[in-house]
Amino acid sequence: MTTAILSALPEEQGGLVQALEQREQFQYAGRVFWRGRLHGQTVVLGLSGIGKVAAATTAVVLFERLGAQRIVFTGVAGGMGEGVQVGDVVIATQFLQHDMDASPIFPRWEVPGYGCTQFACDPELSTLLFAAAHAYLTNTQADIPRSSGVARTHLARVHQGLIVSGDRFVSTLAESIALRTTLAAAGHQALAVEMEGAAVAQVCSDFGKPFAAVRTISDRADDSAHIDFPRFICEVARPYADHIIAGFLQRQLVGVA
């Protein structure tokens, strides 16, 4: 069974391409993909680029052209939930498009034609991701670089819950508070915000394929977001991706969470 590991940016995928055994390169729809063996599993690595449309296109290519049977997304996100701090990890249980609004024809956030606002992630894959992330953070707390901006008094944690996606980089405190408050008033308790996951979740639902996602919190989706992001993604997100995906694949191979 082929597992696709998808990210928006190359830094978010860490050194997974270099670690591939028997790797082959493919190009399609303006994208480069790598297929090979990683920790005993057949995988395809892909970069979607930023935004929901780019992510959806890439997910379709992975299924239709490269034989992927499941997708795992790894990358960074802005923290929104209470207690979700820089350096933490969020494993998605559901996704919602925070910029979807076809009201008054449909309720706000409901995806027309689907009758729902949220798309669920695969519970089995998500459990494996959670176990891999928890094990890594537990064993490597002291290794987070001081220069990354992670508070040394904060021990990184793994959270599970709703992640919201939209075609906008949420980068001010006012916008973050407004988005979180509006969603919470409707019963949507968002832990993190990013720009691709909900689109991939919808494509996976269309194809009937399992989907899971892990996001490292790079900022608090506030006025410091543009300052924290570039350094954090290289110094923290890369090793997180390498180790969490490795742990996930190893657990998947033996069927142990």
**Residue 255 above 80 pLDDT?**
no
208 located within any domain: yes
Q: Which pLDDT score is estimated for 152?
A: 46
251 residue type, one letter: R
Q: Which pLDDT score is estimated for 86?
A: 87
Convert the pLDDT of each residue in 183-233 to its tens digit: 999 999 999 999 999 999 999 999 999 999 999 998 876 776 655 667 777
Convert the pLDDT of each residue in 163-189 to its tens digit: 999 999 888 888 888 999 999 999 999
Q: Which pLDDT score is estimated for 142?
A: 47
**Residue 145 above 60 pLDDT?**
no
85 residue type, one letter: Q
Q: Which pLDDT score is estimated for 202?
A: 98
Range of the domain at 82: 74-254
Q: Which pLDDT score is estimated for 191?
A: 97
**Residue 146 above 60 pLDDT?**
no
Convert the pLDDT of each residue in 45-77 to its tens digit: 999 999 999 999 999 999 999 999 999 999 999
Number of separate domains in the chain: 1
167 located within any domain: yes
177 located within any domain: yes
d(CA 251, CA 257): 6
Nearest to 216 by CA among 144, 147, 152, 120: 144
Residues contacting 234, CB < 8 A, separation 6+? 11
67 located within any domain: no
**Residue 147 above 70 pLDDT?**
no
34 located within any domain: no
140 located within any domain: yes
Domain CATH code at residue 104: 3.40.50.1580
Catalytic amino acids? 12, 219
141 located within any domain: yes
19 located within any domain: no
Task: Indicate the average pLDDT of the chain.
Answer: 90
Convert the pLDDT of each residue in 85-130 to its tens digit: 888 999 999 999 999 999 999 999 999 999 999 999 999 999 999 9
Q: Which pLDDT score is estimated for 256?
A: 60
Q: How long, in residues, is the chain?
A: 257
Q: Where are the alpha helices (DSSP H) in the chain?
A: 16-19, 52-64, 123-139, 173-185, 197-207, 225-232, 238-254
